[in-house]
Structures are given as C-alpha cells and as structure tokens.
Structure 1
Amino acid sequence: MKYLKVALSLSDIEEYQQDLLVAELADIGFDTFEDTEDGVAAFIVAAEFVQTKLDDLLKTFSDDFKYSYTIHHIEPENWNEEWEKNFSPLIINEDCYVRATFHEHQPQYKYEIVIDPKMAFGTGHHQTTTMMMLYILETDVKDKLVLDMGAGTGILGILTSKRGAKQIVAIDNDDICYLSAIENAALNEIDNLTSLCGSKETIPKEEFDVILANINRNILLDQIETYAAVLKNNGIILFSGFYEDPDLEMIKQHCLKFNLNYVDHKKIGDWVAAQFISLN
C-alpha cells in the first residue's frame, strides 16, 4: 500500500492550534503524524488523498496561522525508515517502558511493551495515549474483560493484558490498525487479545468490565450509548481524544443520559482523558 506524506510548514501557531489541526486532519483520512522542526508531517493512504479536502481544511485556519505544504510519495518499504528516525523509547510512570523492535530490551521495568506501529496510531507518545496508559496503570484490570475501541496499534489492550486482564477485544475500523494490533500482540507474547475490524456494530454482545476509547469527541458522542449497553454495572470507561473546553462538559452531559457518572480527568497540554463509572 502506497502512502503520501504531507509536510506542513507552520508559523505563528500555538500548540493548541496545531493539536486542533492534527485532529481535523485525522477527520479527513490522515492516520499518522510526526512533529517536525517547522511543523508537522501527516501521512495518508495515497488512494484516499483528496487535495481539495486538504486545501479546504487549511483555509479554515487561514486567520489563525501561516502555513505551506509539500507532498511526498512514500513507498511501503520506506515507511520503517520514516518512523524509526523519530521513534524514541518512552517511559510511563517510571514502570512502563514502550520501545520499538530495534531498541534494546530493558528488564528493569515492570511492564515492557514492544510496538511496531507501521501506519497505525498509538505508540504512547501522543498525550491522549499517555494519559490512557496512566489510567490503566492506576486501574485494577486483573481478571477483567476489556473492550478497546479505536485500538490502533493495540498498545492499550496490550498494557491491560500485562496487568492481568482476562480477555481483551480490540476494535478499529482501519484494516491496517486491525492487523497491527494482531502483530503487536504477538510481539508481546499476548494470547488473550482478539483484534476485530469495524466500529460500534462490531462490538460482541457480551458485558465488559472496562472500556477504553481513545478516539475523538464526535465519534465518542455517537458511540457512548452503545458502550453503556455492554458495560457491566460498576464498570469503568476511560475516554480520551478530546479537549477540556468545550468537549469534556459535552461528554459528561451525554454520559449522564446513560447512567455513566464522571469520576475525574487528566490533562496534558490541551488534551484530556476522563474516567466514568456505570451506576444503574
């Protein structure tokens, strides 16, 4: 599969504006992003790229910051070289170590996760993934049934497995992510993670103890009712992929309709992760 790299040069831009731009790019099909010295590089399947969509999106930011971009064709065999240049090991909460296959094993960490992202989202470096991992490290998932929506590389489900989860169902609507979760589970010798390709209609008809959903506000608002229907009483939902203002309050109010009560939230930069509990 061939990819395009759109190298965006950005000036006079605030951090929150760049985060918002990345979120909007994801909505039009871009699925992987890298910070660069002068902006951000965004990657998309070549067959799915529509330049007019990109131009129309950028025009909405024309009063906020200055931008320009160049388009580069990337052959599949060059993808590893692209992300290896910028993929550094990550330590979460001093006891979780995330690395790629080309980094050395570090046995001193309680949890070591090996990730080969290819074109899937989720190496732990983005603030939303980091906060979700922090929540998982704080949450008792031992012997729990876990649903991971928008699973990307499968990193969150893999961490729950290493923390003792009984079974994980990882769902993503991108076939690259679906395959990536399978491959990364194997890399980490995880045999209790089932990867499925699809969206809310793919969720098995069973009850889950913990639901993870690191997606975006609009998809979360659409799918919360479905999550509530498969969450056990006193079950936990961890959400991320949105901002504190106005997204968090919108999600809180929507969750109340389905007896999902807000517990607390974390914030890194402008991004938020929040914890809810089911009380029927």
Structure 2
Amino acid sequence: MPWIQVKIDIHPAQTDSIEELLLASGACAVTLEDGEDHPIYEPDRGTTPLWTRTQLTGLFDASADMQAIIPNIEERYLALSGNPLPAHRVEILEDKDWERAWMDNFHPMLFGKRLWICPSWKEPEDPDAVNLMLDPGLAFGTGTHPTTALCLAWLDAQDMSDKVVVDYGCGSGILGIAALLLGAKRVIGVDNDPQALEASRENTRRNNIAEERFEIYLPGEAPDVEADIMIANILAQPLISLSPTLASMTKQGGLLVLSGILEQQASEVSERYSEWFDMDPSEQKEEWMRLSGTKR
C-alpha cells in the first residue's frame, strides 16, 4: 500500500500534543526517532526519556489531502501552544528502509536503455554506460520507488542535448543529475526541505558535475526561467496547486513530466495541466502514474 509520511523535528516536551494532532488528523501510526546521534542509556524505572532532538514521523495513506491536513495541524498547534509548528516536511515513503536495504542488498539498476543508478559504495557494472552514483542520504529519491523509476525511464527516452531542465521537488537530486548526465546543459532544482538541497548538492559533487550546472533553490528563490523540460515528482495536491507556476516556468513547445500521482488522482491532475499542455497517454507502475505533455 502506498504511504505519505510527515516528519517533524521536535523537542521532547512537544511530543504528546503533536502526536495527538497527527493521530486526530488521520495518521495511521506515529513513530519517534533520534534526530541527531544522542544515545539513551538505561533509563530510570518508570521513565520514558526522549532524545534532546527527536524526529516524529506520522504515517498517512497516500490519498490523504496533505494540502488541507498540514495547515489544519499548524493552526491547531498554534492555538494549543501559542507557537508555530516546528520544522516539518511531507514526502512519499519508500517501500522499505531503502538506506539500509541499499547498503545490504542493492545492485545497480538500469532505467531505459542507457541510464544506470549505482549505489556510491559499489563499482558500476558497465563503466562506459551513463552511470549515476547515488547516496540518497536524508532525501527521497533512490530510483527504487515507482514514481522515481517512471521519471527516470522517461528521461532516458528523451534527447536531452543542451536542454534547460527544472526539477521541482528535487529531493536527492536523482532526476536533475540524470538529466545532466544524459546531456542537459543546465538544471534548476527546487525543494522546500533544506536536507533535500544538501543531498542534491552532495550527489552532484559525487557525480563530478560542476555545481553551477545544477542550481539549487528554495521555493520563491528560483530564477525566472523558461525550461525546455519541467520535471515534478511530488504529490497530486501540490502538483495541482503549483500548476500555474510550473506552466509559467516551461517554454512554449517545452516538455512536462509529472509523477507522485495515484491512479485515482491522475485524471484530475491531467485535466488541470491541460489548460496549458497537450497531455500524452499516462503510464502506470504499480499504483503510481506518470503524466507527460507538451506546452502549447
């Protein structure tokens, strides 16, 4: 079953109130993890100590409308505590603990005919292929999730020579870096998570790509650009909200590829983007869809 997770960096005193808000908002489960590297040794009897910096994660069904849920949680938490909700991010959940699975079991994967995604701790199977060396770190995007795989296969099938690409919601940087390795001239990556921006920068360096070719920005800070190719692998509701922005950043005749969309959400997203784009037939992998089109 596909899932979305909300990660919130909290102080232990905030745990109960935020956990209750997440559960009341439809979270199926809430977990607590160490937000840094502070071990807890044997606690006193009857106590449940938490780390000084704790990461609280709420798990939601992927069809949940996070565009409505998050503002509601923010409003209710402000009313309860008088303080804004701590730093948080919403992301698609990989199908398992991929950081651990990669270290133990992962082998390079081929997408399309040319593009290999290789864990940074293993040698490529074909040194002469287009090899993207990746360490996902703290950001979504390993190639294992269907949404990312659909976008990688699409990129491999395109002529990327000298193209300007926008990767909106760049995560680990996997799609933007793939575009550059396949021949793109310049990529503008945008993400609202500072950890994702750092992962994108690190993976850019890992692939020996000059940092000025992969420009990385928070939303609202990206330069005015008319992209030859617009990529957005996020979630259906943000894609709908962002449609005027993504359309305005795509040149006439430019290509669009969208993912992070469940099967039952595809028609609504496609209809929204058809205001600006001639949409292609959709592609599906498991429960997830990829939409693409050409700007009129």
Please, what TM-score do these two structures have when normalized by structure 2?
Answer: 0.71
CA distance in 2 between partners of 1:178 and 1:250 (Å)? 29
- AA aligned to 2:181 is K
How far did residue 72 of structure 1 move?
3.9
Name the structure 1 match of 2:270. 252
CA distance in 1 between partners of 2:286 and 2:101 (Å)? 21
Unaligned runs of 5+ in 1: 1-17, 31-43, 62-67
Answer whether contact 1:96 1:110 (CA < 8 A) is retained: yes
Q: Which segment is superposed worse, 135-144 or 146-155?
A: 135-144
How far did residue 278 of structure 1 move?
0.2
How far did residue 231 of structure 1 move?
1.1
Unaligned runs of 5+ in 2: 40-96
Q: Which segment is superposed worse, 98-107 or 129-138?
A: 98-107
Answer whether contact 1:95 1:109 (CA < 8 A) is retained: no
The DSSP-based 3-state class of the residue aligned with 1:232 is strand
Matched, 1:265 2:282: yes
- AA aligned to 1:86 is A
The DSSP-based 3-state class of the residue aligned with 1:226 is helix
Name the structure 1 match of 2:58. none
The DSSP-based 3-state class of the residue aligned with 1:135 is helix
CA distance in 1 between partners of 2:207 and 2:226 (Å)? 26
CA distance in 2 between partners of 1:221 and 1:84 (Å)? 30
Name the structure 2 match of 1:110. 129
Matches within 5 A, 1:165-244: 165-191=184-210, 192-196=213-217, 198-199=218-219, 201-244=220-263
Residues 157-203 of structure 1: CA deviation (Å, up to 9, x unaligned)? 0010011101000111100001111110010011211111x22x233
CA spacing shift, 1:69–1:253, aligned 2, 3 Å = closer
Residues 110-153 of structure 1: CA deviation (Å, up to 9, x unaligned)? 21111121110111111000000000011122111000000001
How far did residue 101 of structure 1 move?
2.0
- AA aligned to 2:260 is G
Matched, 1:73 2:34: yes
CA spacing shift, 1:97–1:53, aligned 2, 3 Å = farther
- Larger Cα-atom Rg: 2
Residues 183-230 of structure 1: CA deviation (Å, up to 9, x unaligned)? 10010011211111x22x233212110000001011101111111112
- AA aligned to 2:282 is H
Name the structure 2 match of 1:85. 100
CA spacing shift, 1:263–1:166, aligned 2, 3 Å = same
Name the structure 1 match of 2:179. 160
The DSSP-based 3-state class of the residue aligned with 1:86 is helix
How far did residue 84 of structure 1 move?
4.4
2:141 to 105, 122, 130: 122
CA spacing shift, 1:72–1:244, aligned 2, 3 Å = same
CA distance in 2 between partners of 1:240 and 1:248 (Å)? 9
The DSSP-based 3-state class of the residue aligned with 1:103 is coil
Matched, 1:98 2:126: no
The DSSP-based 3-state class of the residue aligned with 1:250 is helix
CA distance in 2 between partners of 1:187 and 1:108 (Å)? 15
Name the structure 2 match of 1:278. 295
Please, what TM-score do these two structures have when normalized by structure 1?
Answer: 0.75
Q: What CA RMSD, in Å, does the superposition of the two structures yield over aligned residues?
A: 2.3
Name the structure 2 match of 1:3. none
Answer whether contact 1:98 1:113 (CA < 8 A) is retained: yes
The DSSP-based 3-state class of the residue aligned with 1:85 is helix
Matches within 5 A, 1:134-153: 134-153=153-172
Q: How many residues align?
A: 229
